[in-house]
Chain A
Amino acid sequence: MSTPVLETENLVKVYGSGESRFDALKGLTFEIHDGESLAIVGKSGSGKSTLMHLLALLDAPTAGVVALHGRPVSQLKTKEVSRLRNETFGFVFQQFFLNAHQSVLENVTLPLKISGWSKADRERRGLEVLTQLEMDDKAENKAKDLSGGQKQRVCIARALVNSPAVIFADEPTGNLDSATSEIVEDILFGLHRDHGITLVVVTHDDDLAARCSRRLIMQDGMIVSEEHGVLVDHHVDSTLGTETDTDDDTFDPSQLGLEDQDEIDGADQAEQSEGGRA
């Protein structure tokens, strides 16, 4: 079995101290493998966002270890961590966080600008990614002139532009209507399937979570259950869940088949959910 992309050991995050002490994460240990699609599911306050921040190296744990490609990152320098984030991760946020007055292309190439690419290389790579997402005709438009779905596509392009190993998506469909959500989800899972990009999705949207190959269900800073396999009926069935364990068995050969099925079902489901919610 390959080295996990990300692994954690006894991850603890505590905010405040004394009476205002809040244990956001209470000792989590798990692994995320290359090419996996993982959903971190839970109500607000369950600690799922905190977990994503720690995984994405945006924050340092109070105790415990986060390792990237088998290498613990907690003791790395801030600058080194920044560089790792820039080169290894892509981010998709619910709120898009696009620069409204900048062009689509400028927004998409921001990570490359930060990592010091030349302007010509940046634009070439940016257009490449925009073409991949069928947004190349909007490259010169201002980000503020786009629709919500287009904005999220730009965000995905931005997350993809540095060819990341892992894409973190924080409620990627939270601000979109259901039809647009479907399209964005299709894009994300298409990338996951076609390019082997590891996908870590934080969501409370069951439909989105169901399309992932594994789900960590969180409650009060702990992983209360873990589910494997893509759910066809888009309903998180707790009977499929297993107790939290670090023993990873998601990489069974059947996964590919499941994903193929997912693709077909996904198309069906787009119609279904659209009809259902209308």
Chain B
Amino acid sequence: MKSFDVAKTALGNTLRSKLRTFLTVIAIVIGAFALTLTFGMGAGINKYVDHVVEGFGQEDEMYVMGSQEAAQEQGADDEGPSEYDADGDSGEMTMMGTSTLDDDDIDAVRDIDGVESVQAIVMIDVDYLEGADGEQWTVNRMGESVDARALEMVAGDPPAQDAMELAVPEAWVSALGGDSPSDVVGDTVQLGFTNLAQEEETVEATISGVSEPSVSQTGQVPTPSRELSEQINEAAMSGLPEEQPSTYIYAVAQVDDMEADETSIKEQLTDDGLTGMTLEDQLGMIQGIINTVTWVLGGFAIIALVAASFGIVNTLLMSVQERTREIGLMKALGMSRGKVFGLFSMEAIVIGLMGSLIGVGAGVGAGVIGNALLVNGPLENVVGLVLFAVDPISIVLITVLVVGIAFLAGTLPAARAAKKDPIDALRYE
């Protein structure tokens, strides 16, 4: 018997008792559906995280922060307070659990082999932004200049790092007197803030472009260029007779070859009392958790599939029993054991294939529709959220897995059919 005929006959046989096949297929469908949804959600959320990561920074950047140990609360261990050392890093401020950086730290980072350049990030506090028409608008928070190159622009360009430029969010356009985003590009604005002596200072800047909110929350606030943010910082730190030491929240080191130098740079940073984190470090853990949850849920789906496979065993055993005579006849007419085995295995595969196609199809459908409903409904405010993504490779893998499980389930009944003796099968007493 030709393989094509085996497949066709197997399909015909499975359609013979439709209800039984249908019920068996349903069980497979449930497993395949659950598996597709689980892995689709895993892929979707990972995609979302990837997208967030993109906005957070670039892969060739290492984020340098003060050592977390230095910021640890005193007395947390048994050693008590440490002795005061006038030459030490006593003036460090702590922020969000890590200590801030000073100029010495930045110089130390710059000296590390493999580090191309370092950008120190200062925190700037701007009170208001004054448009061309003289109206002043409160600025709750300024963006960070490192975000500039990851901004998603509606009009104009991201602020050039060495010019006095800034990008404003889309929501600000009408306040600044523009009808469309492109109207405000090129406008000159004043940024007002207070220095350490509580004196009003202003700096003039040009709007280079209009940004839209991105997944990583950048672009929702005015984003200055590096030059602009340094100018503001300098002016803000002035006003007192003594020059204040600069403090930086963190620094961003550009690394030429992250893969090769990552470990050595991190070691040197640790020696300097600093911590370096790559993008992967920051988000790898989140993705690790998502992947673990995906695999655990996927495991449950596979348990459902294994349960369904016993349905296949049962169905095919019944089928073999019912078709004893037919099998006997085929063997009497010269069908080999191998082909009989192949025919029944193929029936299992057909059932598996039907189940997986329907299940995966339903899973993808439910995922895509559910994603659309949630993302455009209750979760509308989460920018760029993806709950479900269609990953062709995992869809193929799930189909192959389901068909594989079905084939394994079919081997027992198929072997039993192949073993049938044509004489016993054709005996009619």
Q: How far is the CA of A85 from the CA of B337 in the complex (A)?
A: 14
Across-interface contacts of B359 in A (CB, < 8 A): none
| Contact status B331-A82, CB under 8 Å | yes
Instruction: Give the CA-CA distance A111 to B336 in the complex, in Å.
Output: 12
A114 contact from B325, B330, B338, B422, Cβ within 8 A: B330
B332 contacts A by Cβ under 8 Å: yes
Name the distance in Å between A52's Cβ and chain B's nearest Cβ: 10
Given contacts A59-B423, A97-B426, contact A79 B333 (CB under 8 A): no
- Residues 81-95 of A contacting B (Cβ, < 8 Å): 82-87, 91, 93-95
Shortest Cβ gap from B119 to chain A (Å):
73
List which B1-32 residues lie within 8 A (CB) of chain A.
1-2, 5, 9, 16
Q: Write out, one digit per residue, whether chain B residues 315-335 have a CB within 8 A of any chain A CB (1) or not (0).
A: 000000000011011111111
A93 to B422, CA, bound (A): 13
> For residue B5, which residue of chain A has the nearest CB?
A113
Q: Is B84 positioned at the interface, with any CB of A under 8 Å from its CB?
A: no
Given A58-B423, A113-B5, A116-B1, does the pair A91, B333 have CB atoms closer than 8 Å? Answer: yes
Which residue of chain B is the closest to A98 with respect to CB atoms? B329
B428 touches A94 (CB 8 A): yes
Q: A53 contacts which chain B residues (CB < 8 A)?
A: 423
Q: How far is the CA of A274 from the CA of B16 in the complex (A)?
A: 40
Count of B interface residues, CB-CB < 8 Å: 24
Rounded to whole angstroms, the CA-CA distance of A110 and B332 in the bound complex is 11
- A101 contacts the other chain (CB 8 A): yes
Complex Cα gap A78–B335 (Å)? 10
Tell me whether A115 and B334 are in contact (CB under 8 A). yes
B339 contacts A by Cβ under 8 Å: yes
Assess whether A97 is in contact with B422, with CB atoms less than 8 Å apart: no
Chain A residues closer than 8 Å to B421, beta-carbon distance: 59
Task: Check: A62 CB closer than 8 A to any chain B CB.
Answer: no
- Number of interchain pairs (Cβ within 8 Å): 61
Interface residues of A in 55-109 (CB under 8 A from B): 56, 58-59, 78-79, 82-87, 91, 93-95, 97, 99, 101
**Docked CA distance A86–B422 (Å):** 13
Per the bound structure, the CA–CA distance linking A87 and B326 in Å amounts to: 19
CA distance A208 to B137 in the complex (A): 112
**What is the chain A residue whose CB lies nearest that of B333?**
A111
- Assess whether B336 is in contact with A110, with CB atoms less than 8 Å apart: no
Q: Is the CB of B338 within 8 A of A110?
A: no
A78-B337 contact, Cβ under 8 Å, with A58-B422, A94-B428, A113-B1 = yes
Closest to A94 in B: B428
B329 touches A86 (CB 8 A): no
Q: A58-B423, A79-B338, A93-B426 are in contact. Are A114 and B16 (CB under 8 A)?
A: no
A53 to B337, CA, bound (A): 18
Which chain B residues lie closer than 8 Å to A111 at the CB level? 333-334
Least CB separation from A56: chain B residue: B332
Q: How far is the CA of A56 from the CA of B2 in the complex (A)?
A: 24
Q: Is the CB of B336 within 8 A of A78?
A: yes
CB-contacts of A228-262 with B (<8 A)? none
Q: Which of B173-216 contact A (CB under 8 A)?
A: none
Whether A97 pairs with B334 at a CB distance below 8 angstroms is no
Which residue of A is nearest B328, CB measured? Answer: A97
Contact A83–B334 (Cβ < 8 Å): yes
Q: Which residues of A contact B325 (CB under 8 A)?
A: 95, 97
User: Bound complex: CA of A230 vs CA of B62, how far in Å?
Assistant: 104
Shortest distance in angstroms between A66's beta carbon and chain B's nearest beta carbon? 15
B334 near A85: Cβ-Cβ < 8 Å: yes
Q: Cβ of A95 and Cβ of B428 under 8 Å apart?
A: yes
A85 pairs with B423, CB closer than 8 A = no
Rounded to whole Å, the gap between the CB of A69 and the closest CB of chain B is: 17
Contacts of B1 in A (CB 8 A): 113-116
- Please report the C-alpha to C-alpha distance between residue A113 and residue B9 in the assembled complex, in whole angstroms: 10
Q: How far is the CA of A119 from the CA of B334 in the complex (A)?
A: 18
Min Cβ gap B18→A in Å is 12
Name A113-127 residues within 8 Å CB distance of B.
113-116, 118-119
Q: With the chains together, A95 CA to B328 CA distance in Å?
A: 13
Residues from chain A with Cβ under 8 Å of B330 in the complex: 110, 114
A134 nearest CB across to chain B (Å): 23
Q: Which residues of B contact A59 (CB under 8 A)?
A: 421, 423
Give the distance to chain A from B399, nearest Cβ to Cβ, in Å.
28
Cβ contacts under 8 Å, A94 to chain B? 428
Are B329's CB and A101's CB within 8 A? no
Within 8 Å CB of A93, what residues of B?
A: 426
- Give bound CA distance, A110 to B333, whole Å: 8
User: Which of chain A's residues have a CB closer than 8 A to the CB of B331?
Assistant: 82
Question: Bound complex: CA of A107 vs CA of B370, how far in Å?
Answer: 49
Query: Which A residues lie within 8 Å of B9 (CB)?
Result: 113
With A53-B423, A58-B422, A113-B5 in contact, do A85 and B333 touch (Cβ < 8 Å)? Answer: yes
Q: What residues of chain B lie closer than 8 Å to A84, measured between beta carbons? A: 334
Residues of A within 8 A of B422 (CB): 58
Q: How far is the CB of B417 from chain A (nearest CB, A)?
A: 15
Known: A97-B325, A114-B339. A86 touches B333 (CB 8 A): yes
Q: Tell me the complex Cα distance, A134–B318, Å.
A: 37
24 residue pairs of the A-B complex, CB under 8 angstroms, read A58-B332, A78-B336, A79-B337, A82-B331, A82-B334, A82-B336, A83-B334, A84-B334, A86-B333, A86-B334, A86-B335, A87-B334, A93-B426, A97-B326, A99-B326, A111-B333, A111-B334, A113-B5, A114-B1, A114-B330, A114-B333, A114-B335, A114-B339, A118-B2
Which B residues have a C-beta under 8 Å from some C-beta of A? 1-2, 5, 9, 16, 325-326, 328-339, 421-423, 426, 428
Other A-B pairs, 8, CB within 8 Å; known A58-B422, A59-B421, A113-B9: A56-B332, A58-B332, A82-B335, A85-B333, A97-B326, A111-B333, A114-B334, A115-B1
Across chains A and B, which 4 residue pairs bring their CB atoms closest together, nearest first? A86-B334, A85-B334, A97-B329, A82-B334
